Amino acid sequence: MDFWLTVLVLFRRWYVSVPAFLLAVGVAVGVYSTVPTLWTSNAAMVLTTPRTGASLPVHPGTTNAPVNPLLNFDRGLTMTASILTARLTTADTAAELGIVPNGPVTYKVHNGSTNAEALASGPFVFIESEASSPDAARDIVRKVAARAKVELLKGQQAVNAPPATFMTLTQVVAPAPPEPEPGRKLRAAVVALALGLMTSLFATYAFDSFADARRRRRQTATAFRPSVQVDQRVLVAADAHVNGKHT
């Protein structure tokens, strides 16, 4: 019932609801056109062990049998990927890469897990970026990828790992060509349109209430007007009677 009453009010006050609706659509279009387009890029890297394995031979003069790094994944690589993710996402690292809070360029680093606090299921490092220009989106991905290799080297040096056992980061997916991300513009336009529609509905109801109140006041004034006129005639007659007596 309320729905049809609302529709009835909108149709009855079409000269208010239609312009308000068109204004809301215009505002939404304006917001969509003014919100800057974000460009996204991404890359993927994988940790691998050296061909000679992750350990040195116990007896000098012997060597470990060479292995295929892509067939030699273990839990240590997954843990290292998680450590790299944590290091690359700190505020200090972002500042050193030129990222400012609430700036036009942002990036994310994760290891394949939707939960940032959980360990991933593989030795991957995924890099994603958002920027106001395509060049900036790809540049930050390249910078983070280069920084990941530096952090990996520093981490292994910090634990005095033998250089022959150093893990490496292999590029799986090169920084992808930047693509526009319409989600932000669309969300802003939808929010603007929703607010505009609510405002137009409020304006229509407010005008309808004002018009009804004015109509009731007019009806009330019309209903009381005859009695007022009678009272005025009585006063005129009484005044004439009084004046006749005095003359």
Please list the pLDDT of the chain residue by residue as tens digits (247 residues).
Answer: 466 676 777 777 777 778 888 888 888 888 777 777 888 999 999 888 876 665 656 556 556 666 665 555 667 788 888 889 989 999 999 999 999 888 889 999 988 765 544 444 578 899 999 998 899 999 999 999 999 999 999 988 888 888 888 888 988 888 888 888 777 778 888 888 888 888 888 888 787 787 777 777 777 766 655 554 445 555 555 566 555 555 5
Longest dimension (CA), the chain: 149
Nearest residue to 96 (alpha-carbon basis) of 166, 157, 151: 151
Residue 119 confidence (pLDDT): 46
Torsion angle, alpha carbons of 183, 189, 190, 193, to 10: 180
One-letter amino acid at 72 equals N
**Residues in Cβ contact with 181 at an 8 Å cutoff, skipping those fewer than 6 apart:** 37, 38, 39, 40, 130
Alpha helices (H) in 67-107, listed in sequence order: 75-88, 91-96
Residue 139 confidence (pLDDT): 94
Distances (CA, A) of 32 to 27, 67, 130, 190, 193: 9, 55, 18, 9, 10
- Domain boundaries 37-57+64-184, corresponding CATH code: 3.30.70.1130
Residue 54 confidence (pLDDT): 59
Residue 140 confidence (pLDDT): 93
**Residues in Cβ contact with 137 at an 8 Å cutoff, skipping those fewer than 6 apart:** 39, 40, 41, 105, 129, 130, 131, 178
Determine contact, residues 81/122, Cβ cutoff 8 Å. Answer: yes
One-letter amino acid at 193 equals L
Residue 151 confidence (pLDDT): 92
Residue 223 confidence (pLDDT): 63
Residue 238 confidence (pLDDT): 56
